[in-house]
Amino acid sequence: MAIPFDSFTLAASTATLAEEPAARANADCVEFRMDLAADPLDALEAYGGELPLLVTNRAEWEGGKAGDDGRFETLDLAIEHDAVGAVDLELASLDGERGSEETERARRLAERASEMNVSVVVSAHDFERTPTKSDLVATLRRASEYGDVAKFAVTALDRGDALSLLSATYELTEEGHSVATMAMGEAGSHTRAVAPVYGSKIGYAPIDPTKATAPGQYDLETLRRLVTELVTSR
């Protein structure tokens, strides 16, 4: 069943599904980083946890560990599992940046996921900087065309970058789009807790704080507490 993402959803990131019990007290779902797992399909077969899964097989060119060979095929098999409620696909694959063959494969997978009642998170990352607000908005709008949630993770170099991200998040949310935004790095770490106030629908935190999958992540318990306090106090 699809993860709805109609309100803030806290995803516990891990490459080891055996860690899922430790996430139940604070997380709404588990982001399974298949690209970081040794035998991801075997792990899915053995999974008997309570939390639904968001499967990510992040490409090397987007900061992950998955090569192009077999990346989509692995995701295609993953979405057949009953526990999988969402799949992450890179915007660059869907909108033609990576070539027509990859675009066709990515769009076919997104279509199949929707047919199987699996939500599609369309993601983009900038590990160097934060684009201008207009570029942030444009990227999120593009991503919204291909899936259920548009995700953009950027790198904040100062508080102005963080403010631009929050402003773009609010604008897209007011337009009716479902977005997930966060700024990596020290200057942007607070956006992981604050962005949900402006409409961001997904937050990510590692189950094991020593295994963060992106710079600036809070631990799971801390992010849940902060978001709960900030969102409910509005």
Point out the residues that are catalytic. 125, 151
> Distances from the Cα of 31 to the Cαs of 87, 157, 161, 196, in angstroms?
9, 26, 26, 18
Query: 147 and 54 in contact (C-beta within 8 Å)?
Result: no
Cα-based angle 78, 19, 69 (whole degrees, multiple of 5): 35
> Residues 6 or more apart from 231 whose CB is under 8 A from it?
8, 196, 197
> Distances from the Cα of 139 to the Cαs of 93, 118, 197, 198, in angstroms?
13, 23, 21, 17
- Reported as type and span, the H/E element at residue 55 is strand 53-56
Q: In terms of C-beta density within 10 A (0-12 exposed, 13-18 middle, 19 or more buried), how is residue 141 classed?
A: middle
Query: 198 and 166 in contact (C-beta within 8 Å)?
Result: yes
Cα–Cα dist 93/99, whole Å: 8
DSSP-based three-state secondary structure for 33: strand
Q: For residue 155, list its beta bridge partners.
A: 184
